[in-house]
Amino acid sequence: MQQLKHDEFRNEPFTDFSKEENARAMREALARVQSELGREYPLVIGGERVETGDILESRNPAKKTEVVGRFHKATKELASSAVEKANEAFQTWRNTLPQQRADLLFRVASLLRERKHYFSAWMIHEVAKSWPEADGDTAEAIDFLEFYAREMLRYAEGQPLTRVEGEDNRLTYIPLGVGVVIPPWNFPLAIMAGMTVASVVTGNTVVLKPSSDAPAIAYKFFELLEEAGLPPGVVNFTVGAGGEVGDVVVDHPLTRYVAFTGSKEIGLRINERAAKVHDGQIWIKRVVAEMGGKDAIVVDSDTDYDEAAAGVVASAFGFQGQKCSACSRAIIVGEAYEPVLRGIIERTAKLKVGDPEDPTTGMSAVINEKAFKTINKYVEWGQEDGGRLVAGGGSDGEQGFFIEPTVIADVKPGDRVEQQEIFGPVLACIKARDFDEALQIANGTEYGLTGAVYTNDPEKLSRAAREFHVGNLYLNRKCTGALVGVHPFGGFNMSGTDSKAGGRDYLGLFMQAKVVSEKVRPGQTKAEKRDVI
């Protein structure tokens, strides 16, 4: 196979929809997807399309009657078969050259780049992303493909070891085996693709079980992998409930690792189940989990109040607050509280809630009825606990699951809306006496994913860098919008297993290091030495 040459990694640029040619291309993509809605999709196990007749419907959360796709659900037997077929494919795929696997990712990235708006349009329909949010998701998926391909080539290079006379020593990274990939619905392309291709490029095989709220975009990406030349069985597409299909594939003795992104509760459940050794299992399963957050932006009294308010609102309400990195707590110091709160209220009032197909929409529907009810309950709890509703609070579930961007002021540390992950457009505003108390409040949850600090005081910025215990801390900017390669992403405590997606150590989580040491005979030349790996 001809070796492709690729220069240094660069992030995929976002689309400027103010340019008519770009807006027209998106409208055409939306029309194309509209014509494809409601189709039926099979399971794919070992390269074979399988239909069970037991159907799961994916629906547009902004238009509850619109069926995005109809998916055949796996049985427990088929889920187990998917692991076994992945294990069969692993025996061959593990021996492919790193360059070949990297070239596959480069081909997929090229195809995805050509069809960027098409994939974004699927997300607009399936999870109600706005145009910019969908475009950012697709760009991030391209970034993961390009970045992890280059990273695999770096890992495949000769690794530095201390030399010793009389021996030739080599360290190489080899794949783990069958991985179960369980992605979330909120980044249904980027995170799903990132975890899947991190597995594939490192030589592993995959059982992919996308969220029941976003299977269509996962299937479309699976088709892209096939088109790029991925062999049958390397990725197996399954759909079904976590308590059925998910448990089977996590528990299976041939499963070597699980890569998961989602809620703390499900992540802990997976971690617990994966820890149990089943009959026939000859390894300790590895779990890579990213489990959410309760992220805070601290606004000091010595800062630009307008800039801080803008950062809080952008972080809190982008994609309806349905990001694990979203700001759900604004902790505002002393005299800054009232003016910053006013700025937040004013900016929140300007957000347009509506149909995600409309390019002027800033916020749309939350993902499903369960989320709709839960988020509304938190709005009630915030007020029951003494908070003051100062923006939003309304909802309309008739046509879709729409909730207004909501701001609750005068929230106290320890209140339910201050402690628990809501995963929706609800912002709690808390007043702190001083910067010390602000940091204490910020660290006072079980999570540690993202955070931000706005201040003009260099000493306070230094303190925050040392003491604000989150995996991704942003100084004088919003706490969302991590870029692959620029902001390796992942958090501490109950936010997950400390992995850093889009970083230089991430692929190491999907491999294991092997050392081969060969005694060199006196007088032996390099030409006489055999290639031991």
Does residue 327 have an active-site annotation?
A: no
Phi-psi region of 38 (alpha: psi -120 to 50; beta: other; left: phi over 0): left
Interstrand relation of 426-432 and 406-409 (parallel, antiparallel or unpaired): parallel
* Gap between the Cα atoms of 101 and 86, Å rounded: 16
Could you give the 3-state DSSP secondary structure of residue 499? Answer: coil
- Write out the DSSP string of 77-110: HHHHHHHHHHHHHHHHHTTS-HHHHHHHHHHHHH
Phi-psi region of 386 (alpha: psi -120 to 50; beta: other; left: phi over 0): left
* Gap between the Cα atoms of 7 and 401, Å rounded: 44
Facing residues of 511 across strands? 175
- The catalytic position among 126, 133, 146, 324 is 324
Tokens at residue 236, please? 């197996």
Cβ pair 138, 119 in contact under 8 A = yes
> How many CB atoms sit inside 10 A of residue 171's CB?
14
Question: 529: Cβ–Cβ under 8 A, 6 or more apart, which residues?
Answer: 168, 518, 520
* Gap between the Cα atoms of 288 and 442, Å rounded: 25
CA angle at residue 496 from 209 to 413, to 5 degrees? 125
- Phi first, then psi, for residue 453 (nearest 5°) are -135, 130
Tokens at residue 143, please? 């970034």
Helix (H) or strand (E) holding 307: helix 305-317
- Write out the DSSP string of 405-466: -EEEESPPTT-HHHHS---SSEEEEEEESSHHHHHHHHT-SSEESEEEEE-S-HHHHHHHHH
- Phi first, then psi, for residue 91 (nearest 5°) are -60, -25
* Gap between the Cα atoms of 432 and 231, Å rounded: 57
Give the C-alpha distances (Å, rounded to integers) separating 92 from 39, 58, 85, 177, 205.
Answer: 33, 35, 12, 11, 10
Strands in 262-420 per DSSP E? 286-290, 295-299, 327-333, 388-391, 395-396, 402-403, 406-409
* Gap between the Cα atoms of 452 and 477, Å rounded: 7
Does residue 290 have an active-site annotation?
A: yes
- The catalytic position among 133, 140, 146, 290 is 290
Cα 348 off chain centre by? 26
* Active site amino acids: 290, 324
